[in-house]
Chain A
Amino acid sequence: MKSSLLKLGLLCALLGTGSFRALALDGVVIANDSVSVTTLTPAALKDIYTGNTKYWDGGQSIALAYMGDKTDAAIQQASGMDTSAFKTFWQRLAFSGRGQQPKKADDAAALVALVASTKGAIAIVPADAALTGVKTIEIK
């Protein structure tokens, strides 16, 4: 009985742990060409979207960019917050001197252009967006 409870507890702990779940992202992660990485783990992507990681390996600052509405689900999947909470979360960091607010684009084309022109930028765009001047980052 004791052993069963222990196993059940362990199973619950594992199910509640994000690192054991693959990230099914409703979108494609893109980055500026200056970014050297080509893959990120779901945990590393979450660290970026929650401000725990603010610099790429070479020391370049990470510039988050996003758009509302059409990537709501992807923002939720990447950060654990809906778009409104995500925006508020970064406003808290910015206005307390602890971070830089993500830049917002009006549509997918503008978001791709913003990432293409901003060093260190990363964003999630809809899967059907036309990708020019940016690199894609695989999440695995």
Chain B
Amino acid sequence: MLAKRIIPCLDVKDGRVVKGVNFVDLRDAGDPVEAGLRYSEEGADELVFLDITASSDRREIVGEMVGRVADSINIPFTVGGGLRSVDDIRDILRAGADKVSLNTSALERPELVSEAARRFGAQCIVVAVDARREPRSNGSPPAWKAYTHGGRTRTERDAVEWAVEVAERGAGEILLTSMDADGTRDGYDLELTRRIAEPLDIPVIASGGAGNLDHLVDAIVDGRASAVLAASIFHFRQYTIGQAKDHLRRRGVVVR
């Protein structure tokens, strides 16, 4: 059986892990390689590195980090953040990433998804859809818009329609983040996740809102997600990946 995946997400800036990864026993918790290795040894199925480097030499910094990660970690990893062009994508894949994640650049120019999928293969193109609920007037059905720039900028794109479009354009996977749920620890937006995951025939990674292990189960069972992404519940050692896997297994979810 194809296992449901658990994917820790690491935010990196200037080649360093930010947003407090709390492994007390690591020599250098800010080192993406050490943190990534720890997660892979704990049983993480993949890793996502979200790069928020702003400096002018970011290409070199990110490329160097990706290379070091690829040299030492033998599970797949995705790199996202600030990738603007086919050339940017090529550089990151050449440096050793298995997949890239696109958001803002894809919404600004959807052809980028088609071009990248054609050139590098659907399997390495992840589109990150950051979705936020629209205010509801009486009786209107729920709706979500897609956001760019790390969730700061609203677009006129309906998030569900956008997900369908990127799948048609050849994305291999969707990383779906609920901007409403993100940071709340109240659980994933299951309605949004199901709305996008159910009709699509590419995998959807649910993200945003994980606060306990039942939330992971819910995203997979009720939300129909193929994978769950979480940051803080793992970074702050609230749970280990192993505990999360045991919990999913007990609830009948196939995990590695």
**A and B bind:** no
User: Which residues of A are at the interface with B, using a C-beta cutoff of 8 A?
Assistant: none
User: Which residues of B are at the interface with A, using a C-beta cutoff of 8 A?
Assistant: none
